[in-house]
Structure 1
């Protein structure tokens, strides 16, 4: 799951990002309305964690922008403004849920995951691509009913490919999805190739077919063999 946290309290934002990172998710931070807008137009996110009180704008105005341009994106409002009118207005504008501050990080994680499942996976508990099955609750993967021993990043990579099957994914898009803001610290995208190589090897060792196709000069695509 990839999240964008719009929050100007740096200590809270850092705690939230670290928590989601430990859970295996990518959480990027925008501290202002303008920075959030830049990120939304530059990258794709599954769930937006939105504070209503921003130094340069109104969170509800940003919610309107999101629903006009990315209606499938999940939105969880997190704000100390817990007045009933603000909550109702946010939900009327299309937010999925509202969590007042202060909150427990475990509850934030649970609500964000619930939104993600409802919006992106239609409540499914598993994803299947021919002989490959991903359990979305415990992150286990089987090929021909044989369990695969995948690293966290390998699971995230496979999930990303299955959700975007038959679509071209560039190296930059894959890197940005897996590492988020930390991608800027990478010297090259060679690690993307290595992760795909390892994932392909493990799938084929379990009797699966090679669906991860290289589109030279462009990126990668997961599709049935022709």
Structure 2
């Protein structure tokens, strides 16, 4: 890539930016899966007809989820600067983007978890109750296994959204392909850099989608 519109594309720097995007995406997906799963379970279990039906708890949880879902990601990053600085010791770089990515992605995934759990046949849950199963047994042996294909599909959708979030985070110095496209492409009016970054992000999205679909299909056949 040393001619024409790609003359200014530095391969080593592009590889580094790609690694940073993959790092941010992978860690944030893992964190989002854990936190979002916990929030989604809490929404479902404390909701009407849930095992832990509790209206105040459900209202508080739902309100937190709705508030953080409503905040645009770029604004959320700015709001979390003090927290990020306290937690990570910096507000720049791939690691500094992780708190905002996880906090921004978890509420979105929590709603997908709640939807997946609500689709489970109530008869299966009632059968487990009638056999004297404890609440923990119902959660880990019934709810999660029955909803796992939908949960994987949900985290796949969330992962793709997080890839987009990493690009937004790059605009304020988080690193990755978004950072590279903005500072080395857009600000220098170099369309070649922007195009290559875009193509790499699309490839990453396709890879995550392929892996998610493959896992979901395998779980669905069990």
TM-score, normalised by the number of residues in structure 2: 0.25
| Structure with larger Rg | 2
Answer 1 or 2: which has greater strand percent.
1
Answer 1 or 2: which has greater helix percent.
2
TM-score, normalised by the number of residues in structure 1: 0.25
Which structure's relative contact order is higher, taking Cα pairs within 8 Å and 6+ residues apart?
2
